[in-house]
Structure 1
Amino acid sequence: MILLDKDTKCLVQGITGKQGSFHAQQMLDYGTNIIAGTSPGKNRMNFGPITVYDSVEEVKEEMDVNSSIIFVPAPFAKDAAFEAIKHLDLVVIITEHIPVHDSMQIMEYASKNNTTIIGPNTPGIISPGVGKLGIMPTHIFREGNVGIVSRSGTLTYEFANQLTNAGMGQSTCIGIGGDPVVGLDFATVLEKFENDPQTDYMVMIGEIGGNAEEQAAKYIEKNISKPVFAFISGITAPPGKKMGHAGAIIEGESGTAKSKIEALEAAGVKVAERPSQIVNLINEIKY
């Protein structure tokens, strides 16, 4: 597993909101090590077994916490992210519709502080059997040795479900986010999977728009020894049409599904035409 393990001690920013409270309880029920929450003006309020504080700084003064998951609304997400970045090692930003310039400032600040960002506009991260910092439905995941990294939450669930139903579990699943500007990219996650002894296979789920998949293909060709499988959604999308995610827009010949698939196949990646093929592709390598 990567990033989320037994040593992860997390707080939930925006824990008293509708989404924050619902998903905080889901994460607790799954066994995630949530030890605090923040919500300005709700200081010392109790949320189940944990205490709510006004700020991340106050939490850090009283306990050892190293990670955060943010459910704060978009207009306030940058301030929440900056507060977390200043004090913590890992920050998961669930919030969607964050302005691009805010996201750019968040990533710049995170880079200066050596803080890892997942998101924004992400389903989060799950290490089956350990916990999750995210909003994914836990029943479709099981412990195993396949690492999944994806720009799409829904497709993450679909691929995990295909693998689980075939008796293949997952080591860690990460949604990097569908916005034009995000924290972790494909190459960085693939590098972590390459160095993770619990991950034997990698599944990369991309989509049209941007060049993250092409950059990942270059990285895979030079640096990855474990088998990598991929799927690119949006193959029938017309140029100039935004499809689903803010980052999923084709500009001219760049960012098309065709260009991404060609780059990945040239790097030795086996690309599935549809999610239902992934199990057979892995089995071809295994047996």
Structure 2
Amino acid sequence: MSIFVDENTKVVYQGLTGSQGRFYGLLNREYGTQVVAGTNPKKAGTDVEGIPVYATVADAVEATGATASCIFIPAPGVKDAVIEAAEGGVKFIVAITEGVPAQDEAWFFNKLQRDFPDVQLLGPNCPGIISPGKCNIGITAGHIAKPPVEGEPSVGIVSRSGTLTYQALYELKLNDIAVSTCVGIGGDPVPGTSFIDCLKAFEADDQTDAVMMFGEIGGSAEEEAAEFISNEMSKPVVSYIAGVTAPAGKKMGHAGAIVSGGKGTAAAKMDALRAAGVHVGNNPTEASQLMVEVVNGLKK
């Protein structure tokens, strides 16, 4: 299995007719993802290399049976695009766009929770999700991930950082380790999908044998994840927290990566994770090597 998306997932691309949407929509289709539609109210009735374009997500869902959407809309339009997708009937929304106003994120996060509790939002400001060999939605390079192999352990990955997501995928592949699903949740202050959402799904997934979690400074998501791991997870978890040398009080890259006082530091997160029984690496490569040891132990 995998989590959230698989070979049966049908995806509509909101923004398929734009340069980025077109590039990644076609790239995802080439990977094997069922890219069944795009949307643009001004270009309904046209197509992008055989992918039909509809005026709305609802029209696309009715015509194609799409179950997921991927948003490549400029930041000011993401708020409306997310709600259009939910109202249109898709159950999984991937918002790639960065720079979405935090107040917009908070508004549609709460609206989805209240009015569309069965809809899962990933992002905004994330690389997307890939279930290797089955489905790739977003901007992750498919060739850097090893698909699951029957009889061999597979690892699930969840990360706040896009580039660290790619590094984890590639380093595991170099060590001949397969990945069930890799989820980039994004580093904005109000992510649609949390570490706990993914950890819970990985724990329930019979194809995921261990989990790699990449966090970073700022907020309390990693400490909350540590508590969940301690109480709910039976599968081994390996982690790395970016930002060990980051100075307090300064925003470092992601909008959510700001340390306030003694809270949200890398050291505090690492301590919490170690206390929960997590194998914590001091850098991404060390974390990958720790996962190699975990997987080798699972093979015995």
TM-score between both structures, scaled by the size of structure 2: 0.94
SS in 1 for 2:158: strand
CA distance in 1 between partners of 2:288 and 2:127 (Å):
23
CA distance in 1 between partners of 2:49 and 2:214 (Å):
36
CA distance in 1 between partners of 2:209 and 2:62 (Å):
39
2:159 aligned with 1:159, yes or no?
Answer: no
Q: Is the 8 A contact 2:175 2:292 kept in 1?
A: no
Computed over aligned residues only, the root mean square deviation of the Cα atoms, in angstroms, reads: 0.9
Q: Is the 8 A contact 1:13 1:68 kept in 2?
A: yes
2:207 match: 198
CA shift for structure 1 position 48? 1.3
CA distance in 2 between partners of 1:280 and 1:236 (Å):
22
Which residue of the other structure, out of 123, 128, 138, is the alignment partner of 2:142? 138
Percent identical residues: 46
Unaligned runs of 5+ in 1: none
CA shift for structure 1 position 105? 1.2
1:91 match: 93
Which residue of the other structure, out of 240, 247, 251, is the alignment partner of 1:242? 251
Q: Is the 8 A contact 1:5 1:127 kept in 2?
A: yes
1:223 match: 232
Deviations 1:184-218 (A, max 9, x none): 10011001000101100100000000000000000
CA shift for structure 1 position 7? 2.2
CA distance in 2 between partners of 1:97 and 1:283 (Å):
36
Q: Is the 8 A contact 2:13 2:69 kept in 1?
A: yes
2:81 aligned with 1:80, yes or no?
Answer: yes
CA shift for structure 1 position 85? 1.3
Which residue of the other structure, out of 210, 218, 224, is the alignment partner of 1:209? 218
CA distance in 2 between partners of 1:283 and 1:179 (Å):
30
Q: Is the 8 A contact 2:212 2:291 kept in 1?
A: no
Q: Is the 8 A contact 1:85 1:109 kept in 2?
A: no
Q: Is the 8 A contact 2:79 2:105 kept in 1?
A: yes
Which residue of the other structure, out of 156, 160, 177, is the alignment partner of 1:147? 156
Unaligned runs of 5+ in 2: 149-153
CA shift for structure 1 position 282? 2.4
Which residue type is aligned with residue 117 of structure 1? L
Q: Is the 8 A contact 2:213 2:240 kept in 1?
A: yes
CA distance in 1 between partners of 2:123 and 2:83 (Å):
14
2:114 aligned with 1:105, yes or no?
Answer: no
Task: Write out aligned runs for 1:1-287 (5 A).
Answer: 1-86=2-87, 87-111=89-113, 112-114=115-117, 115-144=119-148, 145-285=154-294, 286-287=296-297
CA shift for structure 1 position 280? 2.8
Which residue type is aligned with residue 27 of structure 2? Q
CA distance in 2 between partners of 1:138 and 1:198 (Å):
19
Q: Is the 8 A contact 2:16 2:25 kept in 1?
A: yes
Structure 1 segments, 4+ long, off by >3 Å, are none
CA distance in 2 between partners of 1:102 and 1:265 (Å):
35
CA distance in 2 between partners of 1:54 and 1:149 (Å):
33
CA shift for structure 1 position 279? 3.6
Aligned pairs, number = 287
CA distance in 1 between partners of 2:264 and 2:236 (Å):
24
Q: Is the 8 A contact 2:9 2:135 kept in 1?
A: no
SS in 2 for 1:250: coil
Which residue type is aligned with residue 91 of structure 2? D
